[in-house]
């Protein structure tokens, strides 16, 4: 799975977005947490 990683500096949360589907994304305190959540929804 390929994804983009964004960091919201206000909330200190990482957002991981599926490169093939912009509507598929997940947030987490760490990149690993966000990726894990995204993989569970895919």
Q: How confident is the model at residue 1 (pLDDT cuts 50, 70, 90)?
A: confident
- 7-11, 28-32, 38-42: which range is least confident on average? 38-42
**Rg of the chain, C-alpha, whole Å:** 9
Strands 13-18 and 25-28: antiparallel
Give kind and range of the element (H or E) at residue 31. helix 31-41
Q: What is the pLDDT of residue 37?
A: 97
How many CB atoms sit inside 10 A of residue 18's CB?
A: 18
Average pLDDT over the chain reads 96
């Amino acid at each position: 799975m390929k994804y983009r990683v964004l960091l919201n500096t206000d909330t200190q949360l990482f957002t991981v977005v599926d490169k093939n589907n912009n509507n598929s994304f997940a947030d987490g305190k760490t990149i690993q947490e966000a990726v894990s959540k995204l993989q569970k929804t895919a």
